[in-house]
Structure 1
Amino acid sequence: MSGEAVAKVRRLERITSAMPQVEIDTRHLFHAGMYARTIHIPAGVCLTGALIKRATLLIFSGRATVFAGGEVIDLIGYHVIPASAHRKQVFLAHEDTDLTMIFPTEAGTVEAAEAEFTDEAELLLSRRQGGNTTGESQCLEQ
């Protein structure tokens, strides 16, 4: 995203930060040298993301208007998206929507993985609201 597009998202963040905040469930999974981070955005919620500094895969399932790459697009259904580095997105969920971001990592903790994908980790809802982490061994037992 261009610096101008990122600045637009930051302006929206300043406006929405004064509004009532909604709890967003964040689930974390480490497996096979990969970190997966899944959030659930309830219908009607507008969510701005942290500035992502590395390329990832983004799995989208739901219906939302998205501001990414300086463009507004409507996504409906299920999509696997190659998501570029240096992005700060906005999602307006029209239906309940799930997003999973995946990237390879050697991080062993959620905090280390978060620091790897953003310099804005302190802004992440998982830091303020907690989250659910599943490790490789737990995943194999299920």
Structure 2
Amino acid sequence: MAELIKHDAVSKLEECLRHGPQIDLNTEHCLSGGMYARTIHIPAGTVLVGTTHKKDHLNVVCGDISVSTDDGMRRITGYCVLPTKAGMKRVGFAHADTVWTTVCRTDLLVIEEIEDELVVQSDQLQTRKSRLAMEEVNKLEK
């Protein structure tokens, strides 16, 4: 029951945030030797909700952020490597500028295919929304 309450609370937060102003997290991608790293830059004062991951992975965090973990909310300061099990969906608040890198194993080479393989609702990722927004702007300019 507690898990359902957590999931419900995360869903409500996500819906509220979806209607507020959005910021660009400057997503960077890196592929090497069957590993994919996705890095976001989270400005201080940012509240964010991630997506549910389909596979176990690692997060490399540098900054100051309160984030949901398997054991509840945790404040991470400085540098931390945080393992994550498949099925986890995180929420967080950046107390200071924070860099967050997710590292996953993949045999794929195309970023959109990797995103589809690794997360639920990949169409909701900011990288997809940014691309779609630019396509809409380009259509309007024609």
- Smaller-chain TM-score range? 0.7 to 0.9
Between the two proteins, the alignment pairs up a number of residues equal to 130
Please identify which structure carries the higher helix content. 2
Runs (4+) of structure 1 moved beyond 4 Å?
none
Q: What are the residue-to-residue correspondences of 1:1-142 with 2, within 5 Å?
A: 2-69=3-70, 71-130=72-131
SS in 1 for 2:96: coil
Conserved? CA contact 1:2–1:69, under 8 Å:
no
Gaps of 5+ in 1: 131-142
TM value normalised by structure 2: 0.86
- In structure 2, distance between residues paired with 1:119 and 1:81: 20
How well do the aligned residues superpose, as a CA RMSD in angstroms? Answer: 1.5
User: Which AA in structure 1 matches 2:19?
Assistant: A
User: Which AA in structure 2 matches 1:2?
Assistant: E
Conserved? CA contact 1:2–1:70, under 8 Å:
no
Higher RCO (C-alpha 8 Å, min separation 6) = 1
CA drift of 1:2 comes to 3.3
Which structure would you say has the larger Rg? 2
CA drift of 1:70 comes to 6.0
User: Which AA in structure 2 matches 1:56?
Assistant: H
CA drift of 1:58 comes to 0.6
Percent identical among aligned pairs is 33
